[in-house]
Amino acid sequence: MTLRQRWRRSRRAQVSAVAVVLGLLLVTTYIANFLSQQLPSQMQELEFEHTLLVEDQLGRVQTAVLAEAQNPTLPITITSPVTLGSGSVPPFAPASTGALTLDPASDLVRAQYSIAKVLPRAPVWGSGSACLAGGSGTCVLGAGVFFYNASANSSTYTVILSGATSTLFYNLSGNHDTLTVTQSGPDALYLQIIVVGSNDTVTVSETGALVGSSHYDVEFYGQNDRLNSLIAGAHTGAGSTSFLTRFVGDQGSFCPAANWSATDSLNLVDTSNAFNANTTWWNNVGYTSPPVTHALLAPGSSATFSNRTGFLGCGFSHASVMSYTSDFQSGLRVHLANRYNPPEDVVYEDGAVILSHPASGTFMTGPPTISITRSLTGFYIANFTIVNMVVSNAQNGTSEEGGSTAGVSTHLIGFDQFQVLDNVSTGNAVAGLWLNFTTPYPGAWEGYLEQFPATVLVNDAVTCTTGPLPPGFTCLIPPQGQISHLSAEFLVTEFEFTAITISTTIS
């Protein structure tokens, strides 16, 4: 072998070593690029898919609970899987783990409702003070209390109070009636007028100088009613006058009815030194407006108008109200300890599936079994199905963690269902229905409740309260673990409650 041949062999060895080094560098570069670019993207996708899977699995728990409730006589136990670990990319990235916990103590739904028994309580018609025989007349006695109960149609009544410090109670039942009350004395302490009927007109006037302060309370129950308030003479004295007027649609037993009060009108004429009027139109279709106050021409005088909604007893009736409260506590929380996506919680709470991000709020990904429907008559009907999860045995499993698949076993132990509705024949009325949520996930529930029709929530609002908040947080997005309280009042004429109690075990 020559020296030249040895030199060539040496060069070949060097080329092989360089190739190996370059190959190793290439592999290292590929692995580094994969670890820094592709692996995080793949793991983020796997963790996202895991979140969707857990959401679906908690929805399956809800389906199992409802299936058991539909067959309460069958003593079956249904086990639903919940996958705690995400997918992995071996050998570079193991699965992200999770933890499943039963029944967080902070979750509470409270249903409050009131049922009114409305009974008629009519006065003795055709009776009253001697000075108002037949419903009309002039009462001249000072410091007197006068009254009359008139019941007729298309009739005219005229009342004059000429005595000092007189009080008048006047009840009128009928349609197309006209009542005129004139205060000509120096002072009327209190005048209450209640009118039940439609197309009725009441005129109230003051023609004398006021020494003290008079108060008028005029209430209408019907349609197309009108109040004429002619306060013309009070400016000559030092007294003041206040008017409280209420227009309420009458359905016979339950008030208000629809938005019948929109047909009623007020004619206000004021020349007094001190005159204040407050007028409210009532309805049961959810229409409300905040009080709006207008200054009148006379100094110190004002008129306030507003629209309100909700249950009222009708004129000449008595409402006996009973209130009830039911508490429901339930929940499954899956904490996903993601390494590539932000850690998050997927929660099953009272039939809803909620996704919670500690820093950005909560979102409802699966709605609960709560519905608001509208009947053919235009009124709203509420149907609430609330799930109450309990641990029947202290030895039962209440948590599981790791990367395996856990089992959620549910067994029906209680099923209660009842219905409450407005019923003219029985005199029952839904006087108030509230849902109150004590929850660390207020944003999800508030967003869900706000989707109901604007007229079904009283004042079209859900209120939220909580404790002191650090900067950057709100009641709807509190710090992780802090509890908020949501309240919503529903305006419905019928509601149905279904309470499902489930014994739950985690294995």
- Are residues 286 and 336 part of one domain? no
Per-residue b or e along 392-421, where b marks 16 or more CB atoms closer than 10 Å to that residue's CB: eeeeebeebbeeeebebbbebeebeeeebb
369 with 253, same domain: the answer is: no
- Using the 8-state DSSP alphabet, how is residue 208 labeled? S
Amino acid at site 358: P
Asked whether residue 157 falls in the same domain as residue 88, the answer is: no
Number of domains in the chain: 2
pLDDT given at position 264: 96
Helix, coil or strand: residue 345: strand
Question: Which residues, including other chains, have CB under 8 Å from residue 302's CB and lie 6 or more apart?
Answer: 275, 276, 277, 293, 294, 295, 296
**98 and 229 in a common domain:** no
Q: Examine the fold and report which residue of 282, 315, 348 is the final residue of a domain before the chain moves on.
A: 315
Residue 30 located in a structural domain:
no
Task: Say if residue 22 is exposed, middle or buried (CB neighbours under 10 Å; 0-12, 13-18, 19+).
Answer: exposed
Looking at the domain assignment, is residue 436 inside a domain? yes
What Rg value do the Cα atoms of the chain yield, rounded? 36
- Split at pLDDT 50, 70, 90, the class of 235 is very low
Q: Quick one: CA dihedral 373, 379, 381, 382, positive or negative?
A: positive
% of the chain with per-residue pLDDT over 70: 83
Shared-domain flag, residues 309 and 371: no
- Higher pLDDT pick, 440 / 271: 440
More confident residue, 307 or 377: 307
Least confident residue range of 164-173, 230-239, 321-330, 353-362: 230-239
Alpha-carbon span 475 to 468, nearest angstrom? 9
**Spatial contact of 176 and 152, defined as CB atoms under 8 Å apart:** no
Cα gap 288→290, rounded to integer Å: 7
* Amino acid 170: pLDDT: 96
pLDDT in tens, 364-413: 988 888 888 877 767 788 888 888 887 766 556 678 888 899 999 888 88
State how far the alpha carbon of 115 is from the alpha carbons of 66, 103, 307, 323, 433, in Å. 28, 31, 23, 6, 9
Tell me if 469 is assigned to some domain. Answer: yes
Q: What's the order of all strands across the beta sheet hosting 332-336?
A: 361-366, 352-357, 344-349, 332-336, 98-102, 399-402
pTM of the model: 0.73
**Residues 471 and 381 both lie in one domain:** yes
Average pLDDT on 431-445 reads: 87
109 and 209 share a domain? no
Q: Please say which residue of 315, 343, 359 terminates a domain.
A: 315
The predicted-structure confidence for 326-369, as pLDDT tens digits, reads as follows 777 778 889 999 988 889 999 988 788 999 887 677 889 888 88
Same domain as 156, residue 87: no
**Cβ 221 vs Cβ 195: under 8 Å:** yes
Q: Which residues of 341-367 are buried (b: 16+ CB within 10 A; e: fewer)?
A: beebbbbbbbbbbbbbeeeebbebbbe
Give me the mean pLDDT over the 428-434 stretch.
Answer: 83
For the record, the structure tokens of 147 come out as 């009254």
Q: Is residue 24 part of a domain?
A: no
Same domain membership, residue 276 and residue 184: yes
Q: Do 440 and 327 lie in a common domain? A: yes
Phi/psi at 165 (nearest 5 deg)? 45, 50
For 193-222, the pLDDT digits (tens) are: 999 999 999 999 877 666 667 788 999 999
132 and 100 both lie in a single domain: no
Residue with the bigger pLDDT between 102 and 49: it is: 49
Last-in-domain residue among 315, 345, 368? 315
In a domain, 158, yes or no: yes
Q: What is the mean pLDDT of the chain?
A: 82
pLDDT band with cut points at 50, 70 and 90 for residue 134: very high
Find the angle CA(19)-CA(24)-CA(25) to the nearest 5 degrees: 95
Same domain, 228 and 131: yes
- The DSSP letter of residue 459 is G
Residue 22 falls inside a structural domain = no
Residue 3 lies in a domain: no
Domain range for residue 206? 122-315
In a domain, 475, yes or no: yes
